[in-house]
Amino acid sequence: STGLYSAPKFIAVGDFNDDKQVDIVVANSNTSNILIFLGNGNGSFTILQSYSTGQSSEPSAVAIADLNKDNQLDIVVTNSGTNNLLVFLGLGNGTFSNSRLYSLHYESHPASVAIGDFNNDTWLDIVVANYGSGYADVLLQTC
């Protein structure tokens, strides 16, 4: 369970602890957090950790990729309530580092997020669709 009145809004899957089992991340809009569920290999899951996305952040979408090339999956979360996105770097054991916050435009209200190498520099970049502004933001990774 994601919790009473949590209002799960988005879900994504990946192997967060390198055990070859599918794990789940859920963005909960009402409780302003993401939950990590580790796969048990038999169709069941165990909740591992809850990560706050900030007070009244209302997470709206998540995307998963190895952003820093350490062979661990990282999580990007868009927050429609606070007009920002968070990057949680994977530690390889199913847990994640403290998030890095990236501000978006005032009243942008990000609705979805995707990851790809948009400028062909071998680093993954982030694109965010904003329903409040009617624009998409592209965040190019340059490190």
pLDDT tens digit sequence for 85-108: 999 999 999 999 999 999 999 999
Q: Comparing C-alpha atoms, which of 75, 76, 71 is closest to residue 92?
A: 71
Task: Specify the pLDDT at position 85.
Answer: 96
In the CATH scheme, what is the code of domain 8-139?
2.120.10.30
Task: Return contacts of 47-50, CB within 8 angstroms, 24+ apart.
Answer: 48/94, 48/95, 49/94, 49/95, 49/96
Give the model's pLDDT for residue 80.
96
DSSP notation for 91-122: -SSS-BPPPEEEE--TT--EEEEEEE-TTSSS
Q: What does the alpha-carbon distance between residue 140 and residue 45 come to, in Å, rounded to a whole number? A: 34
pLDDT, residue 70, reads: 97
**For 50-87, what is each residue's pLDDT tens digit?**
999 999 999 999 999 999 999 999 999 999 999 999 99
| Spatial CB neighbours of 42, under 8 Å, sequence gap ≥ 6 | none
Query: pLDDT digit string (tens) for 113-129?
Result: 999 999 999 999 999 99
Q: How confident is the model at residue 142 (pLDDT cuts 50, 70, 90)?
A: low
Q: What is the dihedral of CA 108, 117, 26, 14, to 10 degrees?
A: 180
Higher pLDDT, 3 or 119: 119
| Tokens 């592209």 found at | 138
**What pLDDT score was predicted for residue 30?**
87
Residue 8 has pLDDT above 90, yes or no: no
Domain residue spans in the chain?
Answer: 8-139
Q: Give every strand in the sheet of 125-130, ordered side by side.
A: 110-116, 125-130, 136-139
Scanning the structure block, which residue is given the tokens 């680093």?
123
Structure tokens that stand for 16 in this block: 């967060």
> How far lies 14's CA from each of 19, 35, 88, 134, in Å?
11, 13, 14, 30
